[in-house]
């Protein structure tokens, strides 16, 4: 009897089938799962590590070749906007990657299938799996289709702008105050740490953010604060 393929719908979206289904399966094994169940002995963290590098190269190569007259600083901002966690999580949601995750009972109860950082990491792990199974060209095609095509939308929305600098300028202009960032917590293994930072104006917390470094978490916090603050109604 033929074994059912739990990834049939995903492979239809991708436009190709995996030769090594175990590799595809590994892309969805969250670290919490292997601590609780014995039928998996490796998480997707190594694939995520690889996929992150493949994604970085593909985006950098595209920007370098497509925009020969733009300086390095501009391209860096554009790349950061394309590969930031929230953008990757949106794409993961479009592909319904959360449906395929192997999670512990605790992570399942806490809504792990919808957590942005888990979805973003899973997308990077999938990119790593595509690279190993089909090579750079196919992984580059996937990145082009689902990630690079968002650049115009990102630029129109101003998501490439340095959120920390913009937020500081606005705070000083509107209320003559400088935002302050405070560490909240960190978690994860040494090679895949996650950080949460909060941004304050005076004693009032106006935003939180997370990222793979404190700097990225601060940037995310500033971006979230920009999205939610009504300066005219801000009470300190």
List residues with catalytic annotation.
52, 124
**Whether 23 contacts 132, CB under 8 Å:** yes
- 141's CB contacts (< 8 A; 6+ apart) are none
**Whether 170 contacts 226, CB under 8 Å:** yes
Three-class SS of residue 208? strand
CA dist 228 and 232 (Å) reads 12
**Whether 183 contacts 197, CB under 8 Å:** yes
Written as six digits, the tokens of 68 are: 């020969």
CA dist 215 and 210 (Å) reads 9
Element (H, E) at 194: strand 194-201
Q: What are the residues facing 197 on neighbouring strands? A: 183, 209
Number of helices (H), then strands (E), belonging to the chain: the values are 12, 3
Strands 194-201 and 180-187: antiparallel
CA dist 28 and 22 (Å) reads 10
CA dist 79 and 103 (Å) reads 30
């Amino acid at each position: 009897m033929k074994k059912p393929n739990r990834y049939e719908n995903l492979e239809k979206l991708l436009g190709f089938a995996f030769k090594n289904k175990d590799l595809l399966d590994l892309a969805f094994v969250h670290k919490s799962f292997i601590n609780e169940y014995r039928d998996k002995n490796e998480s997707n963290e190594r694939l995520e590590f690889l996929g992150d590098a493949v994604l970085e190269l593909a985006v950098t190569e595209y920007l370098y070749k497509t925009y020969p007259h733009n300086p390095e600083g501009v391209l860096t901002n554009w790349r950061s906007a394309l590969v930031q966690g929230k953008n990757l999580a949106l794409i993961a949601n479009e592909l319904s990657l959360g449906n395929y995750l192997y999670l512990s009972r605790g992570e399942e109860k806490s809504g792990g299938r919808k957590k942005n950082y888990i979805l973003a990491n899973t997308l990077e792990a999938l990119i790593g799996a595509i690279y190993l199974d089909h090579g750079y060209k196919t992984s580059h095609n996937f990145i082009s289709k689902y990630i690079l095509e968002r650049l115009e939308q990102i630029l129109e929305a101003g998501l490439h702008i340095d959120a920390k600098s913009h937020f500081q300028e606005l705070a000083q202009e509107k209320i003559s105050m400088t935002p302050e960032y405070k560490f909240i917590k960190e978690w994860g293994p040494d090679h895949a740490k996650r950080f949460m930072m909060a941004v304050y104006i005076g004693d009032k917390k106006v935003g939180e953010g997370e990222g793979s470094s404190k700097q990225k978490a601060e940037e995310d916090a500033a971006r979230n604060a920009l999205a939610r603050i009504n300066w005219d109604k801000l009470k300190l």
